[in-house]
A and B are shown apart, each in its own frame.
Chain A
Amino acid sequence: RKEVEQDPGPFNVPEGATVAFNCTYSNSASQSFFWYRQDCRKEPKLLMSVYSSGNEDGRFTAQLNRASQYISLLIRDSKLSDSATYLCVVNLFMDTGRRALTFGSGTRLQVQP
C-alpha cells in the first residue's frame, strides 16, 4: 500500500463548479500535511498547509481527519487557471528529528470553459 494515496483523476469540471479531492495516508505518526499544486512540466508549489482545525484561503478549503487518516481539498468557483495537478503531501518526523515529505501521485484537475 502506498504511504499517500490519491485518485489520479482527471477531474473535468466547468468553470464556476465546486470540486473536492481526497487523500489518504497510511502512517498514523504523520505530523504535518500540505497541498501542493504542480503545473505541467513545472515544479510543485505550496498551495496551503492543512491544520487539524481546518483552514481556508480564499476559494480553497483544506480539512484534516486524523482518526480516518485523510486530507481533503475543496475548490469553490473553479477558474480556468486552477487547471493543474494537486499533490497531497505528508511530512513525517524521522527518528533523528528531521522530516521528509512523502508525496501522493497527484490528482489532475481540468477546468473547462
Chain B
Amino acid sequence: DAGVTQSPTHLIKTRGQQVTLRCSPKSGHDTVSWYQQALGQGPQFIFQYYEEEERQRGNFPDRFSGHQFPNYSSELNVNALLLGDSALYLCASSSLAGDRVDEQYFGPGTRLTVT
C-alpha cells in the first residue's frame, strides 16, 4: 500500500520564477491538503482539494494555486517566487470515509529553495 508521494524532493529556483510541485495521495484517500513549513515552525495550511475543487484556503496570496486531478493527485503552483517562499512543502491526504476522517497522512515533502 503506497503512502503519500511527492515530487521533486528538492528544488532550487530563482526569484520571480514559477514552480509546480506534485503529490499523489495514499491509496483510498480522496482529499489532498498542502502545507508550507518554514524552518523552526509548524506546517501552515495553504489549501485543500476535494472532488477537483479547492474547498478550503489558508492565509496565502493568490500566487499560490493548485489543482486536483480525477485520480486524486494534486499540484501546487507558486508564481513570482519570493525569497520567503523557501520552505518545506508538505502534502497530506485524508478521506471522508470511515471513523478516522480527520487523520491526515503526510508525504515526505518538497524542499524549495529560492535564491
Binding site for B on A (CB under 8 A): 4, 31-32, 34, 42-46, 49, 87, 91, 94, 96, 98-106
Query: Given A42-B108, A46-B105, A96-B56, A103 and B40 touching (CB < 8 A)?
Result: no
Chain B, residues 32-73, CB within 8 Å of chain A (1/0): the string is 010100001111110010100001101000000000000000
A64–B65 CA distance with the chains assembled, in angstroms:
35
CB proximity of B104 to chain A, nearest CB, Å: 6
Q: How many A-B residue pairs have CB under 8 A?
A: 56
Question: Can you give 21 A-B contacts (C-beta < 8 A)?
Answer: A32-B102, A34-B103, A42-B108, A46-B103, A49-B102, A91-B102, A96-B56, A98-B48, A98-B56, A99-B102, A100-B33, A100-B45, A100-B56, A101-B33, A101-B92, A103-B42, A103-B45, A105-B40, A105-B42, A106-B41, A106-B42
Q: Say yes or no: A49 contacts B103, CB within 8 Å.
A: yes
Q: Say yes or no: A43 contacts B50, CB within 8 Å.
A: no
Q: Which of B40, B41, B56, B90 gathers the greatest number of chain A CB atoms within 10 Å?
A: B56
CB proximity of A38 to chain B, nearest CB, Å: 9
CB proximity of A100 to chain B, nearest CB, Å: 5
Chain A residues, Cβ within 8 Å of B109: 43
Chain A residues, Cβ within 8 Å of B33: 100-101
Binding site for A on B (CB under 8 A): 33, 35, 40-45, 48, 50, 55-56, 58, 90, 92, 100, 102-109
Q: Say yes or no: A43 contacts B107, CB within 8 Å.
A: yes
Q: Which of A32, A49, A103 gathers the greatest number of chain B CB atoms within 10 Å?
A: A103
CB proximity of A94 to chain B, nearest CB, Å: 5
Q: List 16 extra interface pairs beyond A87-B43, A101-B104, A102-B45, CB under 8 A.
A: A4-B42, A31-B102, A43-B106, A45-B106, A46-B103, A46-B105, A87-B42, A94-B56, A96-B55, A98-B50, A100-B45, A101-B92, A103-B45, A105-B40, A105-B41, A106-B41
